[in-house]
Amino acid sequence: MSQVIRTSLEEILGGEKVHVQLSVPELVEQAIKNGEGKLTSTGAFSVYTGKFTGRSPKDKYIVDEPSVHEQISWGEINQPLSVDKFKKLYQDVIDHLKGKELYVFDGFAGADPDYRLPIRVVSELAWHNLFGHQLFIRPTEDKRKTHVPEWHVIYASGFNARPAVHGTRSETFIVVSFEEKVILIGGTQYAGEMKKSVFSVMNALLPQKGILSMHCSANVGKEGDVALFFGLSGTGKTTLSADPNRALIGDDEHGWSDTGVFNIEGGCYAKCIRLSPEKEPQIYQSIRFGAVLENVTINPETRIPDFDDDRITENTRAAYPIDHIPGAVIPGVYASHPRTILFLTADAFGVLPPISKLTPEQAMYHYLSGYTSKLAGTERGVTEPEATFSSCFGAPFLPLYVSTYAKMLGEKIRKHHTRVYLVNTGWSGGPYGVGKRINLAYTRAMVTAALNGELEKAAFTPHPIFGLLVPDHCPGVPSEILDPARTWADKGAYEAKAKELSKRFDENFARLQKADPFIAGLSKNW
């Protein structure tokens, strides 16, 4: 960090109105006093994030600095911002924060002491600091006294950028400077920007230490068998990993080192639209005092949350510390390598098998593809399901070339003989609007069979179009739904739709080959 940046930070953090390392009750009291939100009937703190109810990926930038220029995979995801524009934006943010009431949280990203990153979160809003307190790793009392932050997250939610001056697309900005070790966020109140920007930093730093950083949830069984769940939003990653028969390591971000798996965070950030105590009891019970509810409709008199109400957004969220989940692994480090990996996809075309086994080569291909479906109505102008590909199931958070992560995954699954399955949590019997979403109980049964090894007793047949290895039976699941073609009334229509999706896979992979030098020499059968 340059002396100019360090001095300006010290100036704003030395003010009389700066609250450092407040406890959860103190932060809640401050947030209520400031009129930032309200307590619900369960004790959770409820907030509305204004016009932004989700991330703004088109407003995310990396400062184009000499030390990282050759390493970053520049493009629509990793947009460059000049050093001069960053310096101007930084100084204007600092000027905006001078004399304001600020909240400071010191903690870590990365549960493994050997690889953790000391961070400091500075925010205008008390509830943003509460979010950081619950989502990042909280230091012990002795670590607090000696904490020296390497990275600063400066969340100026009340400051709007001026594109002509600051080089941004709009008033919103999420800017990462690897040389200054600073993350600037402003023009939005959506707290998820904070956790994902820190994750992006870890995705650049950890691979340099030989650690595979992953956008996945992780849990462990009673026999010490670790499982990883990869998947984009809406595929069931958090739901399926929150299993009362297994201990949760973490729900979203992990590192895979030479000794095992560790959580990058200290909390969970669960989607809670249509949340119910019957289907997701662990998550439901975690929404109590200390948790933050984002954009969930609350009864003004009873303060009871209505999790079925999507009038504000489908992307309602609950943020809570991982110790709200009974039996969670704390600290989130498990010295064992994954026995099983599950790639989750919500296929709205209704053509992928509900579960299939992948060879190591197929695992690499589907990891690079990162397929799921964007459903009609989720975005303006989307009138029918759209195939969405997000490399490594987390492309918006990957600063480096995607092959960096894919090569590491391939090496690890071969070295540790990890089984890999593709699980379709989407539609069966027809596409969205015709077929039905695969029964959650069946999906849970298939996941259980994959984790306990029962699925390995089945006979596997290659799918005629996708080449996926489809089992002939699975405990607790009707055999007829395992072969997706058998669930369609019109077999010709099934084949046509499956070939359409296969073509989209091919087109996406061809795009990856053009963008990444390593992938250029590979094929879907590598």
Residue 377: band (very low, low, confident or very high) from pLDDT cuts 50, 70, 90 = very low
Residue ranges per structural domain of the chain: 3-36+59-209, 341-399+421-434+452-520
Question: Is-catalytic flag, 196?
Answer: yes
- Least reliable range by pLDDT among 367-376, 417-426, 452-461: 367-376
Q: Does domain 3-36+59-209 have CATH number 3.40.449.10?
A: yes
Query: Residue 403: which of 81, 117, 71 has the closest Cα?
Result: 71
For 54-111, the pLDDT digits (tens) are 999 999 999 999 999 999 999 999 999 999 999 999 999 999 999 999 999 999 999 9
Could you say which of 196, 254, 271, 419 is catalytic?
Answer: 196
Paired residues of 118 in beta bridges: 108
**Whether residue 524 has pLDDT greater than 90:** no
- Cα separation, 97 vs 522, in Å, equals 50
pLDDT more than 70, % of the chain:
97
- Write down the mean pLDDT value for the chain: 93
Could you say which of 152, 317, 324, 497 is catalytic?
Answer: 317
Question: Is-catalytic flag, 486?
Answer: no
For 289-307, the pLDDT digits (tens) are 999 999 999 999 999 999 9
For 441-469, the pLDDT digits (tens) are 999 999 999 999 999 999 999 999 999 99
Paired residues of 27 in beta bridges: none
- Crossing angle of helices 491-515/360-369, nearest 10°? 80
Instruction: Please give the torsion angle defined by the CA atoms of residues 10, 12, 17 and 18, in that order, rounded to the nearest 10 degrees.
Output: -50
Q: Is the pTM of this model over 0.75?
A: yes
In the structure encoding, which two tokens stand for residue 503, read together?
């073509």
Query: What pLDDT score does 133 carry?
Result: 98
Kind and range of the H or E element at 148? none
Query: What pLDDT score does 521 carry?
Result: 61
**Whether residue 380 has pLDDT greater than 50:** no
Query: What pLDDT score does 238 carry?
Result: 85
Could you say which of 55, 357, 463, 497 is catalytic?
Answer: 55
Q: Are 219 and 248 in contact (CB under 8 A)?
A: yes
Query: What pLDDT score does 385 carry?
Result: 63
Residue 274: band (very low, low, confident or very high) from pLDDT cuts 50, 70, 90 = very high
Could you say which of 238, 257, 391, 443 is catalytic?
Answer: 238
DSSP of 36-54, one letter per residue? S-EE-TTSPEEE--TT--S
Question: Is-catalytic flag, 237?
Answer: yes
Question: Is-catalytic flag, 444?
Answer: no
Q: Could you give the C-alpha distances from 48 to 2, 132, 424, 485, in angstroms and in order?
A: 36, 17, 33, 44
Contacts (Cβ under 8 Å, ≥6 apart) of 312: 48, 53, 295, 296, 297
Could you say which of 215, 271, 339, 419 is catalytic?
Answer: 215
Instruction: Please give the torsion angle defined by the CA atoms of residues 84, 87, 88 and 91, in that order, rounded to the nearest 10 degrees.
Output: -170
Could you say which of 252, 271, 463, 516 is catalytic?
Answer: 252
- Cα separation, 111 vs 358, in Å, equals 30
Instruction: Please give the torsion angle defined by the CA atoms of residues 78, 66, 368 and 197, in that order, rounded to the nearest 10 degrees.
Output: -50
Q: Which CATH architecture has domain 341-399+421-434+452-520?
A: Alpha-Beta Complex (3.90)
Query: Residue 197: which of 165, 219, 230, 172 has the closest Cα?
Result: 172
- Least reliable range by pLDDT among 115-129, 362-376, 442-456, 500-514: 362-376
Count of CB atoms within 10 A of residue 310's CB? 15
Q: Are 401 and 203 in contact (CB under 8 A)?
A: no
Q: How much is the average pLDDT of 114-138?
A: 97
Contacts (Cβ under 8 Å, ≥6 apart) of 458: 471, 472, 473, 474
Strand 60-63 versus strand 79-81 pairing type: parallel
Query: Residue 388: which of 282, 258, 201, 233 has the closest Cα?
Result: 233
* Residue 482 exposure: Cα atoms within 13 Å on the Cβ side: 22
Q: How much is the average pLDDT of 187-214?
A: 97
Query: Residue 191: which of 234, 131, 233 has the closest Cα?
Result: 131
Query: Residue 241: which of 324, 325, 317, 365 has the closest Cα?
Result: 325
Q: Is 280 strand, coil or helix?
A: coil
Helices and strands in the chain, H and E counts: 13, 30
C-alpha Rg value of the chain to the nearest Å: 23
Q: Could you give the C-alpha distances from 487 to 63, 434, 480, in angstroms and in order?
A: 50, 12, 7
For 309-350, the pLDDT digits (tens) are 999 998 899 999 999 999 999 999 999 999 999 999 999 999
- Cα separation, 504 vs 492, in Å, equals 19
Query: What pLDDT score does 379 carry?
Result: 40
Locus of tokens 């009129």: 35
For 383-400, the pLDDT digits (tens) are 456 789 999 999 999 999
With b for 16 or more beta-carbon neighbours within 10 A and e for fewer, the 383-402 pattern comes to: eebebbbbbbbbbbbbbbbb
Question: Is-catalytic flag, 133?
Answer: no
Could you say which of 42, 170, 233, 461 is catalytic?
Answer: 233
Could you say which of 85, 116, 133, 237 is catalytic?
Answer: 237
- Cα separation, 172 vs 326, in Å, equals 38
**Whether residue 402 has pLDDT greater than 70:** yes
Paired residues of 172 in beta bridges: none
Paired residues of 63 in beta bridges: 81
